Amino acid sequence: MHLIFNSNVDCICDFTYNFIWQHKGEELDPDALIPSQKDSEYTYRQLVETFINGEDVHISGSVGKRFASSLGVNLVYFGGHGETLDVGCVFVDGDMGTRAGISMVSGAIYVSGTIAEPMGNIVEVVSDEEGYRKYVSITDILQNRQHDVEFVDSRNEFDGKTLTLGDGILRDTVAARLDVDATVVVSGDVDLSTGILMRKGKVIVEGDGGMNTGVLLNGGRVVIMGSTGEFAGTDMRKGEIVIGGKAQGYLGANMKGGSIYVKGDVKAVPPAKVGAVDDMKLLQKELGINRMVVMMFKKISL
């Protein structure tokens, strides 16, 4: 499939159709023709189905934000099993807007230009296509134990168990849907929805986290050494979120299970409750603090 765009369009190759379960088709109709096409009449759904069939998509021209969102996910909302699909790749002769590759789990993005920050759950690797930069899913590297992956930035490393991201790039949805006992260490800050829908593994952020940290967490552990934005732990079901700094409001909103550990006087959204820490060793291990400092922390749970 080949498309030519005359101007930037958002949510291209977006498996969620801009989170259709939230807007019910009012903001994006999957079967609508994608605007700004030249000499073609493809719909948003046709692009997604092309990937699902294992075929590649080629785009001439730049694209807008939220490109290739949840690429490779067989979404339950559309009758899928929620697991990863083997999908095709996408080639873009141009630039990309912010949040490309949010919650992406498979496939590859090839781009001749640049990708604006924050990016999604992707990292640049050495390209096998001349004239293109190549980005793959962080989750895909971990799930498939890609020992031989070669990063463009030497500050990024993977030893088969721990992936260290030291490139300083701001990302959303780091380790989205991770389901293996592996670790991601981010040497810096992250933005939205770190660890979204994780079931196993660990994310360690050595800086600050943005909004929605650990949203929909279903296992594993998210450790933020710094502070987080609002709505940490929203809709979480299992696992732990450890926040070493301050946390903004609406902690544990619509929480179904799991635990959030945070320092200082905090409030939780009912039915979640604030109580005493019952596992001091966990915080000592993850944050490198002594027992006296641990006593300043609270636990949010049901």
Amino acid at 71: L
Residue 111, domain extent: 1-158
Residue count of the chain: 302
- The single-letter DSSP state of residue 39 is S
Closest CA to 172 of 200, 202, 210, 208: 210
- Distances in Å between the Cα of 172 and the Cα atoms of 70, 103, 176 are 12, 8, 9
| Residue 117 in domain | yes
Assess whether pLDDT exceeds 90 at residue 298. yes
| Residue 35 in domain | yes
Average pLDDT score, the chain: 97
Q: Write down the pLDDT at residue 178.
A: 97
pLDDT interval class at 147 (50, 70, 90): confident
| Residue 256 in domain | no
* 240-265: average pLDDT: 96
What end-to-end distance do the CA atoms of the chain give, in Å? Answer: 49
Q: Write down the pLDDT at residue 26.
A: 93
Q: Which residues contact 288 (CB under 8 A, 6 or more apart)?
A: none
Burial 231-256 (b: 16+ CB within 10 A, else e): bbbbbbeebbbbbbbebeebbbbebe
* 158-171: average pLDDT: 97
Percent of the chain with pLDDT over 70: 100
| Tokens standing for residue 106 | 């498979």
Assess whether pLDDT exceeds 90 at residue 146. no
Helix (H, G, I), strand (E, B) or coil at 221: strand
Residue for token digits 């050595």? 206
Closest CA to 202 of 241, 236, 234: 241
- How far apart CA 155 and CA 175 sit, in angstroms, is 18
Domain count, the chain: 1
- Distances in Å between the Cα of 32 and the Cα atoms of 27, 35, 41, 79 are 11, 9, 9, 21
Q: Which residues contact 62 (CB under 8 A, 6 or more apart)?
A: 5, 8, 92, 94, 95, 96, 97, 113
| Residue 268 in domain | no
Assess whether pLDDT exceeds 90 at residue 257. yes
